Chains A and B, each alone.
Chain A
Amino acid sequence: MKTQRWFTPWVLTIPALAWLLVFSVWPSINTLRLSFTNAKPLGGDVDFVGLRNYTDMLHDGDVRTALLNSVVYMAICLPLLTILPLLLAVLVEKRLPGISFFRTAFYVPVIASAVVVGLMWTWLLDDRGLINNMARALHVVAQPVPFLTDRWLVLISAISLTVWKGLGYYMIVYLAALGNVRKDLHEAAAIDGAGAVRRFLTVTVPGVRGTMFLVSILVSVAALRVFSELYILTGGKGGPGGKDQSLVMLIQQYAGGFYGNFGYASALSVLLFAVTLVPMIVLARLNNRSER
């Protein structure tokens, strides 16, 4: 029986496919191509310059600083955002009265724009903001803590913002996974006299191990892609002496304007892609090994 005409699937697929080719596949190829040129936003001749953008990158102190920042960002985000959201998911898993209110409320930071929460935190962390005022009122510190003006504290502030904003998102990912953890194992462990902590470690964690690896990859890649948090907390300036920049901030700077350089920005993009592959490959390997 003939159920469809030959072209029907293509009519349905072609718009999405065209978008994929024009806005994902072609830009990927073009990024690589541009990274070997000296293309500028303001026009002019486009020449192939070989590996010059890449050799320039090796000697660029900003790039080295950005990579260092990325490693620190990832190293702190990875454990916090892999573990805290799981604890949170366990907390909201049980169907207590009012639990859906808490689930929704915990998700609120996720739906807010990074610009909105960035400005909120700028105010909270201000020298005369709530956190410094409380710390001084409680005599924890005598002078305001320079959350937004110290080279390392800016980075730590941005990391806290990323962790705070990500909690709800990964909580939901874990919540979906917790539904698949076998209830009978929990009951058996409880009958054997295992306490809550023990059951969490021996039943829950092994049950969601695959999801933990998935989350750890998502968290690492997201940490390497950070832009808005650092941009907003530093008013677009990248902190004292521009020391608090991420790779994406550098890409954005070279993407336009008088000093723009599409060639160099593209080489930075290729570097960014290479860097995001590292945690993906390492964590995928670890996952495979632990499954054997």
Chain B
Amino acid sequence: MKALRYFLLAFVLVITVGPFLWELSTSLKGAGEDIYTQTPSFVPHQPTLNNYAKVADAIPVWRYIGNSLVVAALTVGGNILFATTAGYAIARLRFRGRSVVLGLFLSTLVLPGEVTIVSQYVTVRDFGLADTLVGVALPGMVAALNVLLMYNAFRALPQEIDEAAIVDGATVPQRLLRVSLPAVRGTLAVVAIFAFIQAWDDFLWPLIVLTSPEKYTLTVGLQYLSGTFTQDQRLIAAGTMIAFIPIAILFSALQRYFFRGVEEGGVKG
């Protein structure tokens, strides 16, 4: 029974991770190795990093990585800061209009982002931010879903911890930073990881906002590489690995927090 389970697990592993390994293998094969043969080898015969260097010759890949990092940093920063403050206020403070605000955040969840993408572009353009990285990052800096995730996490904390802090004379910022925030670290980690992944992986929005090739983010740049500069699958494979490896490392380093956050109820549609 146990053996059957491991057999099935291994089978799914081949399906989910296999394509990544095949791409990695292709990216390491030298120009002398026929990658189109009917009997391709999984292990490169003459492993080389040449293809990675050639990617940097074809497109300014370091600049694209920098551009993607700028967008991701703004997105993560904005979401951590503003989703925390708003989520905390709605969950833990009493004020007039609180339920209206909560309802407003909830109501935007049924709206797929693609529906408003054109008028969002019009807004960003009217701000003078078309074809800029700030324009790419700006709309995603506060996601309603993240506000609601933080709201849920703060709401789950017992009322007593605030009461005790109030008796001690703690102000709202002190209560937020010292009492509540440490208790919702798991959810905060989920928010941060997802904000980063979403910004790093996004394609449609930067494709619409950016027109100058030197401002491309990595995903748009990759498409540019495969569409314009090369048919060589070794080069394209190297490009995809450049985009994929950082996020794979980040995720495997933080996956503990992620799965813990999931258990805290941190992941909802």
Residues of A within 8 A of B (CB): 1, 3-4, 6, 8-10, 12-13, 15-17, 19-20, 22-28, 30-31, 34, 39, 88, 91-92, 94, 96, 100, 102-109, 111-117, 119-124, 126, 128, 130, 133, 136-137, 164, 167-168, 172-173, 175-176, 179, 214, 217-218, 221, 224-225, 227-228, 231-232, 235-236, 248, 251-252, 254-256, 262, 265-266, 269-270, 272-273, 276, 280
A119 and chain B: residue at smallest CB distance: B240
For A106, list chain B residues within 8 Å (CB).
12-13, 16
Interface residue? B50 (CB, 8 A): no
CB of B65 within 8 Å of the partner chain: no
Instruction: Using CB atoms, name the residue of chain B closest to A170.
Output: B269
Confirm or deny: B195 has a beta carbon within 8 angstroms of a beta carbon on chain A. no
B56 CB-CB contact with A under 8 Å = no
| Structural contact, B89 and A12, CB atoms closer than 8 A | yes
User: Would you call A225 and B114 a contact (CB within 8 A)?
Assistant: yes
Which of chain A's residues have a CB closer than 8 A to the CB of B251? 104, 107-108, 111
Q: Are A115 and B203 in contact (CB under 8 A)?
A: yes
Q: Report Cα–Cα, A119/B224, bound state, in Å.
A: 12
**8 Å CB contact of A13 from B90, B200, B243, B265:** B90
When C-beta atoms are compared, the residue in chain A nearest to B171 turns out to be A4
Please give, as numbers and ranges, the residues of chain A lying within 8 Å of B37 by CB-CB distance: 133
The number of inter-chain residue pairs (CB within 8 angstroms) is 261
B16 in contact with A168 (CB, 8 Å): yes
- Point out the residues of chain B lying under 8 angstroms from A262, CB to CB: 118-119, 122
* Residue pair B120, A6 in contact (C-beta under 8 Å): no
Interface residues of B, Cβ cutoff 8 Å to A: 2, 5-6, 8-9, 12-13, 15-17, 19-20, 22-23, 26, 36-40, 81-83, 85-86, 88-90, 93-95, 98, 101, 104-105, 108, 110-112, 114-123, 138-139, 141-142, 144, 147, 166, 171-172, 176, 197, 200-204, 207-208, 211, 219, 222-223, 226-227, 233, 236-237, 239-240, 243-244, 247-248, 251-252, 255, 259, 262-263, 265, 267, 269
Complex contacts, B239 vs chain A, CB 8 Å: 119
Given contacts A91-B9, A108-B16, A136-B38, contact A173 B267 (CB under 8 A): yes
Q: Is there contact, CB below 8 Å, between B15 and A164?
A: yes
Within 8 Å CB of B147, what residues of A? Answer: 16
A227, B114: Cβ atoms closer than 8 Å = yes
- In the A-B complex, the 7 residue pairs with the smallest Cβ-Cβ separation, listed nearest first, are A16-B86, A113-B201, A27-B116, A19-B142, A12-B89, A30-B119, A9-B95
Name the residue among A175, A228, A235 with the largest chain B CB count within 10 angstroms: A228
User: Which residue of the partner chain, among B8, B89, B262, contacts A176 with CB atoms under 8 Å?
Assistant: B262
Please indicate the chain A residues that have their CB under 8 angstroms from the CB of B226 in the complex: 119, 122, 235
Q: How distant is the Cα of A17 from the Cα of B138 in the complex, in angstroms?
A: 14
Neighbouring B residues of A272 by C-beta, 8 Å: 112, 114-115
Quick one: which of A3, A105, A235, A248 contacts B166, CB cutoff 8 A?
A3
Using A111-B251, A164-B16 as known contacts, say yes or no to A227 and B204 having CB atoms under 8 A apart. yes
Q: Is the CB of A27 within 8 A of B123?
A: yes
- Contacts A/B (CB < 8 Å), 6 sampled: A12-B88, A23-B139, A27-B120, A102-B13, A164-B15, A265-B118
